[in-house]
Amino acid sequence: MDNRNTELDRMDAILTAEDEIVPSSGFLGAVMERVEEEARMPAPIPFPWKRTLPGFVLAAGVFGWAGVELARRVVSAMNQGALAFPQLSAAMVMPMQQAGWVALALSLSMGSWLLARRLAGQSGLL
């Protein structure tokens, strides 16, 4: 216990000693040179929101129209008594199953990538 007290006393003495911190020679000049370089650099190019806005509006319109059409068809099918699903031939079913598996694999890959990016972004790696 006595050894620990002497170590703590030495650490307290080191931490309480106020030595003047002096930067190395040329440090101030290097820092100011870098600051001046940054000031001379042109501003970053802003994102062209005005150009992308029509695309966003068009996409929202297409998805909105598709939702309205889907709702209209579901309501009309319900008014007729039952939802009638189209009968697909066997030649159409196999490629659609494969496309479903591909879509599932792509969405799982995208989801895991987004999760990893979010987790890494919190740690400052991205």
What number of other Cβ atoms are within 10 A of residue 77's Cβ? Answer: 13
Q: pTM, whole model, 2 decimals?
A: 0.34
**Which carries the bigger pLDDT value, residue 6 or residue 95?**
6
Res. 101: pLDDT tops 90: no
Please name the residue that has the structure tokens 């966003």: 56
Residue 88 three-state SS = coil
- Going by the DSSP 8-state scheme, the letter that residue 46 receives in this structure is P
Structure confidence by residue, pLDDT tens digits, 38-95: 899 988 888 888 889 999 999 999 999 999 999 888 888 777 766 556 676 777 777 7
Residue 126: the pLDDT is 47
